[in-house]
Amino acid sequence: MIGLGIGLLIILVCGLVGYTLGSTSSAIDFSFIPGPSIGKPAPDFALLDLNGQQIQLTDLIGKPVMINFWATWCGPCVTEMPYIQEQVDAHPDEFVFLAINGDEPEIIVHDFILKHDFRFTVLLDPEGMIMDRYRITGYPTSFFINADGNIQAIVIGSLDRIELSSRLYEIGVGQ
């Protein structure tokens, strides 16, 4: 009986750990790859921005990076975006900000960015593959990456001005 209980527990835990979060439309199963964690290198990716230019994360080593996974329909995302734009404007050469949108049509994302006059880099993850790789379970989720390419902090949920500024300071912005 104890063996059965332990077996069920192992199945449950392995099932939860191995579950690929995010979009189920991706062609690649990232569940066998460890998820991103603090102190470890950020998983590399290459995505297109709204202008069709490819951005690869490893090309940004040497600068602090903030990655934010978001959606146009996400209220907390919309709330924090003006704070992010303020930081991008205040520190244009100190860090790179990447807003990754998954699973929404490009025209919806483009119109949203224009409507709100955001001027930061927006990347499209139409298949949700990078969302899967980063184990995104909700919006917004932000990753703060130091100049060496290692994750310093992961924040699930909306950032206010103070926490955003503090997290950016931790990766060398505003020092």
Whether residue 120 contacts residue 85, with contact meaning beta carbons closer than 8 Å, is answered with yes
Q: Write down the pLDDT at residue 34.
A: 65
Q: Which residue has the tokens 């902090």?
A: 153
- Collapse the DSSP code of 58 into the 3-class scheme (helix H, G, I; strand E, B; otherwise coil) and give the result: helix
* pTM of the entire predicted model: 0.81
Residue 20 confidence (pLDDT) above 90: no
32 falls in which pLDDT band (50, 70, 90)?
Answer: low
All structural domains of the chain: 2-170 (3.40.30.10)
Q: Which residue has the tokens 């206010």?
A: 160
Work out the percent of the chain whose per-residue pLDDT is above 90.
Answer: 76
Round to whole Å and give the CA distance between 83 and 118.
11
90 falls in which pLDDT band (50, 70, 90)?
Answer: very high
Please list the alpha-helical segments (H only) found in the chain: 2-18, 75-90, 106-116, 129-133, 161-170
Round to whole Å and give the CA distance between 7 and 104.
40
Decide: residue 95, CB within 10 A, 0-12 exposed, 13-18 middle, 19+ buried. Answer: buried
Which has more pLDDT, 102 or 167?
167
Mean pLDDT of 41-56: 96
Phi-psi label, residue 128: left if phi above 0, alpha if psi -120 to 50, beta otherwise: left
Average pLDDT, the chain: 85
End-to-end CA distance of the chain: 59
Round to whole Å and give the CA distance between 74 and 88.
21
Q: Write down the pLDDT at residue 8.
A: 30
Q: Write down the pLDDT at residue 12.
A: 29
Mean pLDDT of 33-56: 92
Q: Write down the pLDDT at residue 102.
A: 86
Q: Write down the pLDDT at residue 158.
A: 96
Mean pLDDT of 8-22: 30
